[in-house]
Amino acid sequence: MLLQNLYNLGARRVIVTGTGPLGCVPAELAQRSRNGECAADLQQAAALFNPQLTQMLQGLNSELGGNVFIAANTRQMAISFITDPQRYGFITSKVACCGQGPYNGLGLCTPLSNLCPNRDVYAFWDPFHPSEKANKIIAQQILTGSSQYMTPMNLSTILAMDSQT
């Protein structure tokens, strides 16, 4: 297992991110959505994967006798700004800032793409990736988020613990 190899090579703190909100990215909306709803099957897959990842990491930590591997539930982090974009200062979480087709969800971001006038008000930069502002929200949750987002602890807690040793 790759994670065990990291530990054997000397890694003592590793943050492992789960999958994001696969069914809600503009690429999937462009291909599957009629009214902007997320693709339920992909959302279900992500909802199943992330808790299993956390459980696997907790088992590995038990074997190793410490909190080496930290799970970051990025799907849960992103769902908050996808379901309520205005609360985070976004005008939309459905349309990418840069892309083509429905929801700007087709193709790559190229000079021929539609480009939004202000990327800070879009949750997604392109058909797959969060915008810089959305990534800052995710990074803040990794740093200070509750156990809803980070298991067994957030990065601030890790840093505080490790500074005492």
164 domain residue, yes or no = no
C-alpha separations of 49 from 45, 61, 105, 111 in Å: 6, 18, 24, 36
What CATH number is given to the structural domain containing 95?
A: 3.40.50.1110
Share of the chain above pLDDT 70, in %: 100
Q: What is the mean pLDDT of residues 78-95?
A: 96
Question: Nearest to residue 121, comparing CAs of 95, 99, 98, 92?
Answer: 92
Sign of CA dihedral 39, 22, 99, 116: positive
165 domain residue, yes or no = no
In which band, very low, low, confident or very high, does the pLDDT at 155 lie, cut at 50, 70 and 90?
A: very high
Residue 81 confidence (pLDDT) above 80: yes
- When divided into structural domains, the chain yields a total of 1
